[in-house]
Structure 1
Amino acid sequence: MTEPDLATLSPDAERMWADIMELSSIVDDASPGWSREVFSEPYKASREWTLARMRGAGLETSIDAAGNIVGRLPGLDPNAPSIVTGSHTDTVHSGGRFDGIVGVMGAIEAARTLQESGTRLTSDLIVVDFLGEEANDFGVSCVGSRAIAGVLEPGHLQRKNRDGVSMGDTMAAFGLDPHAAVSMAWNPRSVKSYIELHVEQGPMLETAGNEIGVVTSIAGIERLMAVFTGRADHAGTTPMDQRADALIAAAEAILTVERVGCGAPVHGVTTTGKIATGQGAFNVVPDSSTIWAEIRSIDPSWLTGARRRIAEQIATDAAKRGVGVAIDLLNDQDPVPAAQSMQDTVAAAAGSLGLNWAAVPSGAGHDAAHMAHLGPMGMIFVPSRGGRSHCPEEWTDINHLRSGVQVLAATLMRLDQA
C-alpha cells in the first residue's frame, strides 16, 4: 500500500471548535446543561443547521426515511464501496457539548481537510448524522443506525412512552416514515468500512497521558424495567412484618443490581438510572414502584449470566415481601468487537502522526455497534477531561480534537488505499 501523504492533512481545529460551540447553542433553554433530546423542537432545529453545515462543506446531502442526515463526498470510482463515518447530534437530558457531536463535526472537518489538501478518494466518503443515538422514552437507542443496518424492527416502533404514544407515531409526527425505516437497510456490499470519531467518555486516556484511543470492543447493553405491585396500607397501624411495600422491594432490587455489577470479573458495570413510585404520602405504605436499570460488559457470557441473576434475585426477594413484580428485559445490543484490520489501521495512522495511542474498550454504546453489521468497524477515541460525560461538565480540549480529526482523515486515506 502506498503511504498517504500525511503532510497535506491540516484540519482547522478552530473552525471545528466554532461549529461545536454554535451547535451547542441550539438547546432546550428550559432544561439544564446542553439538552437536545431526540424528537424535540431543539433537535429539529439543530438538524437544519447540521444539514446546512454539510452542504457548506461540499457534501451532497439527503435525509432518509429514518431521519438520518447523509452527506456524500464523491470519489473517483462511483462503483467502489463507500467509506462511512459519522456519529450523532442528539444529547441526553442535561448533557454535554461533545458526546456524538465531535464525531459529526469531526467527520465534516475531515471532509473539508481532504478537499483543501487536494486529496480525492477512490471511494465515496459518506458522512452520517444518525438519528437518535441516545436512549429515549421508548427504550430504543441508535434508531437511525439500526435502520441503516437493518436491525430496526416493527416491535421497536410499537414500544410506547409513559404517555402511551408509540415510537412509530412519534417518528411520523416528526416528519419521518417509520414503516419505510424498518425496510431501508443498506446493502453490505455498498460499504467498504465504517470508522467513528468519539470522545472517550471515561478517564483511561487522560490518566495514562495518551492522545488517541484505538477501540477494541463496544460493550453489550442489557436493559431491565421492573414494575413492583404491593398493597397500600396505613403507615401508622400496619405492622412491619405484615406489609407489602413496593418501594422497599424496589430499593432492595437496586442494591441487587449494584451488587452484581460490583462482582464483575473484567469489564462489567450495572446501573439503576431511575426509580418511580405512585402518588405516595408520609402515612401510606407504597403500593407501586418501578425501576429502570441496565447492565454493560464487553464479555457476552458475563452479561447474559448477570441479567439472569439479577432478574431471578429480584423476583425471589419481592416474593418474600409479598410484592408482585413484572420484569421486562430488553437487549439493546450484544458486545461488538472492532475489526482487527480497523484497529491496526487506526493505530498505524496515529503512529505515523507521532501521537501516543492506547488500545481501550468502550463501555458506552455507539452507532458503530450497529454499523458493524455492514462491514469492518472501528472507532477513534480522544480524551475526556476527568472522564466526565453525559453531564454539563463534559469537556475535550481543542488540541485533542485536532489530533482526533488528523487521525480520522489519515485513517480514511489508508482505508481508501487498502
Structure 2
Amino acid sequence: MTAAVPTVSDAEAAVILARCDELARHSSLTDGIERTYLSAEHAAVNYRVAGWMTAAGLTTWQDAAGNQCARLSGSTRGLPALMLGSHLDTVRAAGRYDGILGVLVAIAVAGRIAASGRPLPFALEIAAFGDEEGTRFGTTLLGSRAVAGTWLESWWDLRDAGGVSLREAFLAFGLDPAKVGDAARAPQELLGYLEAHIEQGPVLEEEGRALGVVTGIAGARRFLLTVTGSAGHSGTPWPRRRDALAGAAEGITTIERIARAEGLTATVGHLRVFPDAVNVIPGKVEFSLDLRAPDDADRDRGWTLIESALTDICGTRGLDLASTQVHEAAAVACSPRLRAAIATGIRSTEPTTAPADAARPDEGGSDSGPEAPADDAPRELPSIAGHDAMAIAAITDVGMLFVRCAGGISHHPDESVTAADVALAVDALEAAVRALAADYPAL
C-alpha cells in the first residue's frame, strides 16, 4: 500500500501541537500546568506567541490589558476587522489545549491568508486573551471584557491568594491601570469574532464528528453559600445537634436533583468546613454553586427552586442560610451569519473528516478512517462552558467552531485532540473566513 502524502494541513497541525507542548512548559507548577493573568508565565507566552504571529506575517502588539494582539491588513488600509481569538491562561492542573488551541489555529489561518497573496476585503485580527478562566483574581473574562469595553472599576481591588491586588499586578506587569480603557474596541472597528475551541464535552466524539458549529453559550450564575449551625463535641445527642455539614450535604444532593429535573447544569466545586476537626460537629460550611443553562430564564427559575429548597432544609435542621452571588453572565446566541460561515467551512472538510477513534499524536496507529457522507450536515450544539466570545458579543457578532476532544475531558491534564482534527479545524476556519470575504460587504 502506498503511504499517504502528508498535506500542508498535516504539517501545520504538527506545528500547532508542538507549540501547545511548548506553551505548556510555561507554568507556575512543576508537576502540571497553571498559567495565570499578569504572571511571569503570562509574559513569557505573550512573547512567544508574538514571535509566531510576526513569523506568520502579522503586525503585533500587547494591548493595555495585557492581551497579545495581531493584525493582517486587508486590501486597503483602515478597513474594519474580522477578529479571531481565544485565551492563553489556564486553570490549575490544566490541559494544554483549552484556549491555547484556538489561538494557534487562528495564527495558522492568518498565516495562510498572508502567504496566499490574496488579501481579504477586510482586515484580520487575532486576540490572544490574557485572562478567561479567572484563576488568579476570581473574576472571569478580564482580558476580553477589557477589549469589549466592559471593564469594571470595582475589579481593581480584587486580590489573589497572595494578597496582591489587580491594580498592583497591572503595575508589576508593566501596564498602566489608568489606560486599561485603551484596550477597548469600538463596534464599528469589527465585523465579527470567530473562536475555535475544544468542545469540552463528549457529543462530537460520540457522534464520530471532528468539528461542530456552536449555536450559543450558556448563561451562568455563581454563588457562595454559607450554612451556619453550632459547633459542638461529637458526643452531642442527636436532638441537640445543629450540624452545618449535614445540612449542606443534604442541600448539595438536592441541588443535583433539581438541576437534573430542570435540565440545568449545576456544579458544587468548592467546600470549606469550620472548624474542620475530626471530633467536632461542623458549625459552618461554605460551598460554591455554578449554575448554567442555555436560556437565562430557565437558569434563573432553577435558582429560585434551589434557594427555596435550601431554605427549607436549613429551617428544618435549625440552620441559617446565606447566599451571595459572585458572578453572572448572560447567555449568548451565536450569529446566524457566522454560524453559516462556520458550517460552510466544516462542509469543505467533510470528505476527509476523521473518525472518533483516530489515534492521538503521541499514540500509534493511523489518523485516517472512513469518510463522512458528503451530505452530512454539520453538527450544531450549544456550549455549556463559558468563552471569551461571551464578552466580545457586547461589541460584535460572535461565532464558534468546536473541535472534538477525547472523552470530552477538559480542565484536566488528560485533555487531548488528534492531529487530524486540528488539521481539519485549520481548514474549516480558513474556509469560514473566505466565505465571509466572498459575502463582503454584506457582512
User: TM-score scaled to structure 2, two decimals?
Assistant: 0.86
Q: Structure 1 residues 282, 151: CA separation in 2 closer, same or farther (over 3 Å shift)?
A: same
Task: Please give the alpha-carbon distance, in whole angstroms, between the structure 1 residues aligned to 2:245 and 2:321.
Answer: 12
Structure 1 residue aligned with 2:395 = 374
Are residues 1:311 and 2:310 paired? Answer: no
Deviates more, 1:139-148 or 1:305-314: 305-314
Q: 2:280 aligned to 274, 284, 300, which one?
A: 284
Are residues 1:330 and 2:351 paired? Answer: no
Letter in 1 for 2:417: T
Contact (CA 8 Å) 1:99, 1:199: kept in 2 or not? Answer: yes
Task: Please give the alpha-carbon distance, in whole angstroms, between the structure 1 residues aligned to 2:256 and 2:415.
Answer: 25
Contact (CA 8 Å) 1:9, 1:113: kept in 2 or not? Answer: no
Contact (CA 8 Å) 2:92, 2:135: kept in 1 or not? Answer: no
Deviation of 1:183 (Å) = 6.8
Letter in 1 for 2:224: M
Deviates more, 1:183-192 or 1:37-46: 37-46
Q: 1:320 aligned to 307, 316, 331, which one?
A: 316
Contact (CA 8 Å) 1:31, 1:93: kept in 2 or not? Answer: no
Q: Structure 1 residues 28, 319: CA separation in 2 closer, same or farther (over 3 Å shift)?
A: same
User: TM-score scaled to structure 1, two decimals?
Assistant: 0.91
Q: Percent identity?
A: 33
Q: Is the partner of 2:42 in helix, strand or coil?
A: helix
Task: Please give the alpha-carbon distance, in whole angstroms, between the structure 1 residues aligned to 2:322 and 2:126.
Answer: 42
Deviation of 1:54 (Å) = 1.8
Aligned residues: 408
Task: Please give the alpha-carbon distance, in whole angstroms, between the structure 2 residues aligned to 1:176 and 1:388.
Answer: 35
Structure 1 residue aligned with 2:83 = 84
Deviations 1:33-82 (A, max 9, x none): x2223344333322222222222222211112211111111112223211
Letter in 1 for 2:251: A
Q: 1:251 aligned to 249, 252, 268, which one?
A: 249
Deviation of 1:296 (Å) = 1.0
Q: 1:411 aligned to 421, 429, 432, which one?
A: 432
Q: Is the partner of 1:12 in helix, strand or coil?
A: helix
Q: Is the partner of 2:276 in helix, strand or coil?
A: coil
Q: Structure 1 residues 279, 55: CA separation in 2 closer, same or farther (over 3 Å shift)?
A: farther
Structure 2 residue aligned with 1:240 = 238
Alignment of 1:143-154 (within 5 A): 143-154=142-153
Structure 2 residue aligned with 1:106 = 105
Structure 2 residue aligned with 1:27 = 27
Q: Is the partner of 2:227 in helix, strand or coil?
A: strand
Are residues 1:293 and 2:292 paired? Answer: no
Contact (CA 8 Å) 2:9, 2:424: kept in 1 or not? Answer: no
Q: Is the partner of 2:269 in helix, strand or coil?
A: strand
Letter in 2 for 1:15: V
Q: Structure 1 residues 40, 292: CA separation in 2 closer, same or farther (over 3 Å shift)?
A: farther
Q: Structure 1 residues 288, 259: CA separation in 2 closer, same or farther (over 3 Å shift)?
A: same
Are residues 1:219 and 2:218 paired? Answer: yes
Task: Please give the alpha-carbon distance, in whole angstroms, between the structure 2 residues aligned to 1:417 and 1:179.
Answer: 41
Deviation of 1:165 (Å) = 4.9
Deviation of 1:182 (Å) = 5.2
Contact (CA 8 Å) 2:10, 2:419: kept in 1 or not? Answer: no
Contact (CA 8 Å) 1:345, 1:414: kept in 2 or not? Answer: yes
Letter in 2 for 1:152: W
Q: Is the partner of 2:420 in helix, strand or coil?
A: helix
Contact (CA 8 Å) 1:71, 1:126: kept in 2 or not? Answer: yes
Structure 2 residue aligned with 1:118 = 117
Deviates more, 1:44-53 or 1:94-103: 44-53
Are residues 1:272 and 2:268 paired? Answer: yes
Task: Please give the alpha-carbon distance, in whole angstroms, between the structure 1 residues aligned to 2:143 and 2:340.
Answer: 28
Structure 1 residue aligned with 2:3 = none
Structure 2 residue aligned with 1:55 = 54
Deviation of 1:274 (Å) = 1.1
5+ residue gaps in structure 1?
Answer: 1-6
Task: Please give the alpha-carbon distance, in whole angstroms, between the structure 2 residues aligned to 1:399 and 1:73.
Answer: 27
Structure 1 residue aligned with 2:346 = 350
Task: Please give the alpha-carbon distance, in whole angstroms, between the structure 1 residues aligned to 2:159 and 2:258.
Answer: 29
Q: Is the partner of 1:193 in helix, strand or coil?
A: strand
Task: Please give the alpha-carbon distance, in whole angstroms, between the structure 1 residues aligned to 2:95 and 2:331.
Answer: 25
Are residues 1:17 and 2:17 paired? Answer: yes
Q: Structure 1 residues 388, 412: CA separation in 2 closer, same or farther (over 3 Å shift)?
A: same
Deviation of 1:321 (Å) = 2.6
Deviations 1:3-49 (A, max 9, x none): xxxx99887222222211211222233343x2223344333322222
Structure 1 residue aligned with 2:359 = none
Letter in 2 for 1:290: E
Q: Structure 1 residues 43, 137: CA separation in 2 closer, same or farther (over 3 Å shift)?
A: closer
Q: Structure 1 residues 414, 294: CA separation in 2 closer, same or farther (over 3 Å shift)?
A: same
Q: Structure 1 residues 405, 254: CA separation in 2 closer, same or farther (over 3 Å shift)?
A: same
Task: Please give the alpha-carbon distance, in whole angstroms, between the structure 1 residues aligned to 2:92 and 2:402.
Answer: 23
Q: Is the partner of 2:328 in helix, strand or coil?
A: strand
Q: Is the partner of 2:224 in helix, strand or coil?
A: strand
Q: Structure 1 residues 172, 247: CA separation in 2 closer, same or farther (over 3 Å shift)?
A: farther
Deviates more, 1:184-193 or 1:149-158: 149-158
Structure 2 residue aligned with 1:206 = 205
Q: Structure 1 residues 182, 289: CA separation in 2 closer, same or farther (over 3 Å shift)?
A: farther
Q: Structure 1 residues 137, 12: CA separation in 2 closer, same or farther (over 3 Å shift)?
A: closer
Contact (CA 8 Å) 1:10, 1:113: kept in 2 or not? Answer: no
Q: Structure 1 residues 263, 288: CA separation in 2 closer, same or farther (over 3 Å shift)?
A: same
Contact (CA 8 Å) 2:218, 2:384: kept in 1 or not? Answer: yes
Q: 2:259 aligned to 244, 258, 261, which one?
A: 261
Deviation of 1:348 (Å) = 1.4
Deviation of 1:137 (Å) = 4.8
Q: Structure 1 residues 49, 9: CA separation in 2 closer, same or farther (over 3 Å shift)?
A: closer
Letter in 2 for 1:19: R
Task: Please give the alpha-carbon distance, in whole angstroms, between the structure 1 residues aligned to 2:436 and 2:8.
Answer: 17
Q: Is the partner of 2:321 in helix, strand or coil?
A: strand
Q: Structure 1 residues 282, 9: CA separation in 2 closer, same or farther (over 3 Å shift)?
A: closer
Q: Structure 1 residues 228, 180: CA separation in 2 closer, same or farther (over 3 Å shift)?
A: farther
Task: Please give the alpha-carbon distance, in whole angstroms, between the structure 2 residues aligned to 1:314 and 1:90.
Answer: 35
Contact (CA 8 Å) 1:71, 1:128: kept in 2 or not? Answer: yes
Q: Is the partner of 2:302 in helix, strand or coil?
A: helix
Structure 2 residue aligned with 1:3 = none
Structure 1 residue aligned with 2:166 = 167
Task: Please give the alpha-carbon distance, in whole angstroms, between the structure 2 residues aligned to 1:252 and 1:165.
Answer: 36
